[in-house]
Amino acid sequence: MSRLLSLAASLGVYEVRLLGPSAEHLQLAVHRQKGLGLPRRPLSSSFAQHQKDTPSTWLLMSPCRSQRKSDPHKAAGYRFAPRYVMVFPDHWVWRMRDNSVLPGFPMLISVFWKGLPSKIDAVYENSEGKFVFFKGKQFWVYKDTKLEPDYPRDITQFSHGMPSQSIETAVWWEDVAKTYFFKGDRYWRYNEEKRTMDPGYPKPISVWKGVPASPQGAFVDKAHGFTYFYKGKEYWKFNNQLLRVEPGYPRSFVKDFMGCDRMPRDPGRQPADDGNSDVVIELDNEASTVKAIAIVIPCVLALCLLVLVYTVVQFKRKGTPRHILYCKRSMQEWV
């Protein structure tokens, strides 16, 4: 605990480029190169409170380990230049680079964006450089780390024609100044300049050949002309020119992006079954033996003391036994 808190005590200022992926359920967005000031403050006591509910520090520090089970909640994430990734599973924020968690993470979402709830559905960065978060029927807009006035708002106030319940993925294509929203087997196209949905939408997701229904995240690799879609632990590489998924996909996201097949195992934990157990209990035989001795010896001594007291009492009550007295007289005759 102390090690984890000390690692998470402070953060620097990072340059944001792309909004990136999480592990089990993925929501992503794109950010142009721009500085994002992150707060430098010790973690609040609420961090320690959340720690109490965690089986072990290692489970918290390993996204690959914690994602082995199915997680019904989605997580949003950001990709930082040059290869930084920040993901938001549940209440937490992770920062990763080169397929490993960086020191100081995970942290609570509230450390970065005050007022932002946990388990967000989707996020993207709009043409004004503001972050737009979605959860259920509401959305939040932040300028860097500061919440804009009068937010959150109902998702219906975002634009006429927006899905009224929720969205699953948001991705901004800067070249065409359009933001695409995905939900189920349909998608919507939003005009960032006019602040309206384009006519003729929603359309079937089959237009994006090879992209699965209900994608859980996406981000654009503008330099190479690809859009990456994510769902569960898999991802699809979409060719923006040919408008189809590249051959050989889907592939494992947790392996290719998070390096989970190379994640070091906690040396203090025994290999656990891949079934349903997250807790490993180790028995310390040496400690158990010491404890047993510490309990048995006082009990034996107490029993001996009771026997001694009983014998003394009997001597005082009944006097010297006859056979002892006879022995004494016999010995006197020998002298």
Dump pLDDT digits (tens) for 223-267: 888 988 888 888 899 999 999 999 999 998 778 766 666 544 444
Whether residue 51 contacts residue 192, with contact meaning beta carbons closer than 8 Å, is answered with no
In whole angstroms, what is the distance from residue 7 CA to residue 106 CA? 9
In whole angstroms, what is the distance from residue 215 CA to residue 249 CA? 14
pLDDT at 209: 95
Label residue 86 by pLDDT band (50, 70, 90): low
Query: Within 13 Å, how many C-alpha atoms sit on residue 23's CB side?
Result: 25
Dump pLDDT digits (tens) for 255-296: 876 666 654 444 444 444 444 433 333 334 455 565 677 788
Residue 69 has pLDDT above 90, yes or no: no
pTM over 0.85: no
In whole angstroms, what is the distance from residue 24 CA to residue 74 CA? 8
Residue 211 has pLDDT above 90, yes or no: yes
Dump pLDDT digits (tens) for 99-139: 667 787 777 877 878 888 888 888 888 888 888 999 999 99
pLDDT at 259: 64
Query: Which residue matches tokens 């082995």?
Result: 68
What is the pLDDT averaged over residues 321-325?
Answer: 54
In whole angstroms, what is the distance from residue 63 CA to residue 52 CA? 18
In whole angstroms, what is the distance from residue 65 CA to residue 278 CA? 9
Residue 203 has pLDDT above 80, yes or no: yes
CA angle 278, 7, 263 (to 5 degrees): 45
pLDDT at 246: 96
Is the dihedral angle over the CA atoms 203, 208, 213, 214 positive or is it negative? negative
> Among the ranges 73-87, 123-137, 197-211, which has the highest mean pLDDT value?
197-211
pLDDT at 85: 58
